[in-house]
Amino acid sequence: MTAPALLLLAAQPTLLCEIKEKEINESSGLAASRAADRVWYTHNDSGDKPRFFRFDESGRVTATFTLKGAKAIDWEDMAAARVKGTNWIYLGDIGDNGRIRKTITVYRVREPRAKAKSGDLDKFDEWTIKYSDAPHDCEALMVHPQTGDLWLVTKDRGEGTLVFVVRRPKGKGVQTAERVGSLTIPFKGLGAGMVTGGDISPDGRKVAIRTYAGALEFTVAKSFDTWFKGSGKKLAPAAEAQGEAIAYSRDGARLITSSE
């Protein structure tokens, strides 16, 4: 049973709901619907099928969607964004604990209609991505709402927290994630610097990053490409056994976290 918690921007976090669905046992990714208020999506960590779940703020799962023909090696994060008038769901098969994967994969599918029932989705984009330097373990996938750029923030395993971007991915060829910098994580303790999720606000003006120990919110200056160069505002972590995901609400006013 997972327990997404409402993380207030200026106060201690409060419990939003518990997802009472046995099929969701490791909420690794989280995203807010761009079509409807108080509607959310999540997916499991590695070991599950290529599927994601829709739930409301009472914790009730309202639909399960499977990407027909897709793979789920290690889904670690998801994102939602309205890009050029279309609402999209992005799913990141980006985990790589051993840092041995030559390529990773991001799937993009149109957000299902609000009243859509559970079922298979057979129309989606599949982007194969390689890093510009070497394989990395990554659990944070973010999408810029104006450009559609994919942002990846690695999980520090002794090499620092690195930031990569895939500019306007398209087509079926291999896309390159270019390294653009690194991120300073101020938290201390075991696993405190390991990034496990991230999100960009719907208006593109804020970026939230979380680790096992806490969360940071960055305010975008003139250029979005420099968002990670600031210090970030520390946010109080929720009381979670193993915090995995973070996402802005549809209006950008709230941050929600979820735990395995």
The pLDDT tens digits for 52-100 are 999 999 999 999 999 999 999 999 999 999 999 999 999 999 999 999 9
Per-residue model confidence (pLDDT) at position 7: 44
Counting other chains too, the contacts that 185-189 makes at CB distance below 8 Å and 24 or more residues apart are 185/156, 185/161, 185/211, 185/216, 186/216, 186/231, 186/232, 186/234, 187/211, 187/213, 187/214, 188/213, 189/213
Q: Are 44 and 26 in contact (CB under 8 A)?
A: yes
**Which of the residue ranges 27-41, 161-175, 183-197, 230-244 would you say has the lowest mean pLDDT?**
230-244
pLDDT reading at 107 higher than 80: yes
What confidence tier does 11 reach under pLDDT thresholds 50, 70, 90?
low
Name beta bridge partners: 183: 161
Per-residue model confidence (pLDDT) at position 1: 41
257 burial level (CB within 10 Å; 0-12, 13-18, 19+): buried
Q: Rounded to whole angstroms, how far apart are CA atoms 35 and 239?
A: 30
Q: Mean of the pLDDT values across residues 113-126?
A: 95
- Measured CA distances, 189 to 139, 162, 186, 231, 256 (Å): 19, 19, 10, 19, 23
Other beta carbons within 10 angstroms of residue 188's beta carbon come to 9
Round the average pLDDT of the chain to a whole number and report it: 91
Judged by DSSP in three states, 51 sits in strand
pLDDT reading at 229 higher than 70: yes
**Which of the residue ranges 122-131, 132-141, 233-242 would you say has the lowest mean pLDDT?**
233-242
Q: Rounded to whole angstroms, how far apart are CA atoms 204 and 212?
A: 24
Where is pLDDT greater, at 132 or 13? 132
Give alpha helix (H) positions in the chain: none
Q: Mean of the pLDDT values across residues 28-42?
A: 96
Q: Which residue has the tokens 């096992």?
A: 212
Where is pLDDT greater, at 114 or 108? 108
Q: Rounded to whole angstroms, how far apart are CA atoms 109 and 111?
A: 6
Backbone angles phi, psi at 82, to 5 degrees: -100, 105
Per-residue model confidence (pLDDT) at position 52: 98
Condensed to tens digits (0 to 9), the pLDDT of residues 165-193 reads 999 998 889 999 999 999 999 988 888 88
Among 161-170, 187-196, 211-220, 227-236, the range of highest mean pLDDT: 161-170
∠ CA(101), CA(105), CA(111), 5° rounding? 160
pLDDT reading at 200 higher than 70: yes
**55: nearest Cα among 66, 69, 65, 70:** 65
